[in-house]
Amino acid sequence: MSVAVSAPGKVLLVGGYLVLDKSYSGLVFGLSARIHTISTISTSETGAIVVRSPQFSNATWTYTLSSSENGVSVKHVTDKSSSNNTFVETTIRYVLSYLSLPKIPSSEITILADNDYYSQPTSAVPLQRFSNQNVPLSSAHKTGLGSSAALVTSLTTCLLQTYSPAPLQLSTPSYLTKIHNLSQVAHCVAQGKVGSGFDVAAAVFGSCVYRRFSPSILQALPEANTPRFSQELREAVDLSWDVGIEKTKIPKGVRVVMGDVDCGSSTPGMVKRVLAWRESEKEAAGEQWDELERVNRGLIDLLGQLSESSHDDVRKQILDIRKNIRAMGVAAGVPIEPEEQTKLLDAVSTGVPGVLGGVVPGAGGYDAVAFIIKDDEETVTALKEFLAKWDDGKVKALETREEQEGVRVEQMKQYEGFGNYLKLS
Ligand SMILES: Nc1ncnc2c1ncn2[C@@H]1O[C@H](COP(=O)(O)OP(=O)(O)OP(=O)(O)O)[C@@H](O)[C@H]1O
Ligand SMILES: C[C@@](O)(CCOP(=O)(O)O)CC(=O)O
């Protein structure tokens, strides 16, 4: 029997940087662009998991598995053409160690990512779903939708559904919390640091107002496969975390449109510099963050009770947020809303009727822009046409839009046309 799961990407509309500190919050929307993982238990005797990501070249990873009292040892079988996939390997190691099964049947897992995760070449004909990128994963141009968090969450859930001794329902709140905690652990270990985790939260719970968990929950965990690893992992995951998730959704009548700026900024470098500034200018930075939190919360409240008559208030609130973000950027010496992005956001906000405003989402920089617009075809078309003419078409509107739902079990039928990618049972 095959099991399929998908988890959404994210856009952190407001709260970049602040959300790293538990005293502040971020508004994150889950996106319709999802990463799917489909598993099939295989008949092979040896305990092994073969993972394929068939939209990319040389993207097959084989792992042999063996159980011990220190957790499940997961070894990547390498050959000449293979590369590592730390996110996949770590997720398998942590989920199977969490389950601590004495015997682990072999399985095959296929990863399929919606097209919006990668900048696509301009094409006269519509792309097929899960289009083939024809390049190794390392050369794909990511659009910044949080592919690793969606992948880790989707794979964690797929492994739990495949290997848990008792069948589980994703509608059970305690099970979703377990998926969240385990996915956060695996994602942090794989990326080598404890981030705020808003991307994993969106992948699990969908759109929400997010407040981070205390990093100390994870910092105390022993290394994988050392004494007490399995027990302590289980204890940490089953603990009640001090994370804040207030589910939310975009109000009726408006939608989010993402613009992919095929360029890119180094998020870790920007985070380091903003946090160093905050440390060195404690008082001024504290005041600035409190003010940003106030205006961010203002937008969250406005969106919570939106009507046609409050569109102008949303416009003003977004401008206020941007003014504060630019001030933080100047004070920290980090181009969070760089001049080029300011020009673009201003031009779209004033030049395209139906656009309520736009921001540089997440860490900002040159990566992406996100717009809140009226949810009608006319506005979407006008925005796309405007972007196509801007700076030689460097900014492309993505097809994805906000979506409320987080991780979910998928019906197998939808993959039937993808026989070139996977065999179903
Ligand atoms: N389709 C996929 N197949 C297999 N592995 C994937 C896939 N997509 C993402 N990954 C894993 O996630 C890693 C990319 O993670 P990274 O954090 O660099 O990007 P991201 O999460 O998309 O970034 P951002 O948070 O800026 O959106 C890849 O190196 C790979 O390990
Ligand atoms: C800067 C930060 O607050 C947001 C980064 O968001 P993004 O990866 O640019 O979408 C970092 C974090 O929250 O982990």
pLDDT in tens, 50-107: 999 999 999 999 999 999 888 999 999 987 777 899 999 999 999 999 999 988 999 9
Quick: pLDDT tens for 262-293: 766 778 899 999 999 999 999 999 999 999 99
**Are 88 and 156 in contact, with CB atoms under 8 Å apart?**
no
Its pTM surpasses 0.90: yes
Any ligand 2 atom below 6 A from CB of 267: yes
Ligand 2 midpoint to CA 279 (Å): 18
Ligand 1 midpoint to CA 339 (Å): 28
Any ligand 1 atom below 6 A from CB of 196: no
Over residues 363-387, the mean pLDDT reads 96
DSSP bridge partners of 48: 64
pLDDT reading at 14 higher than 70: yes
Ligand 2 midpoint to CA 16 (Å): 6
Q: Which of 11, 12, 18 has most ligand 2 atoms within 8 Å of CB, for mutation?
A: 12
Any ligand 2 atom below 6 A from CB of 20: yes
Structure token pair of residue 299? 């937008």
Residue of minimum CA distance from atom 3 in ligand 1: 53
DSSP bridge partners of 72: 67
Amino acid at 226: T
ipTM above 0.90, yes or no: yes
Q: Counting atoms of ligand 1 from 1, which one is nearest the CA of 51?
A: 4
> How many angstroms separate the Cα of 55 from the Cα of each of 5, 186, 214, 265, 422?
17, 24, 37, 25, 11
Residue 169 to residue 178: CA distance in whole angstroms:
12
Over residues 291-308, the mean pLDDT reads 94
Any ligand 2 atom below 6 A from CB of 15: no
Residue of minimum CA distance from atom 14 in ligand 1: 148
Task: Choose among 196, 153, 252, 157: nearest CA to 15.
Answer: 196
Q: Which of 17, 260, 289 has most ligand 2 atoms within 8 Å of CB, for mutation?
A: 17
Q: Which of 267, 273, 341, 369 has most ligand 2 atoms within 8 Å of CB, for mutation?
A: 267
Ligand 1 midpoint to CA 86 (Å): 10
Q: Counting atoms of ligand 1 from 1, which one is nearest the CA of 191?
A: 17
Please, what are the domains in the chain? Answer: 2-247+410-415 (3.30.230.10), 254-403 (3.30.70.890)
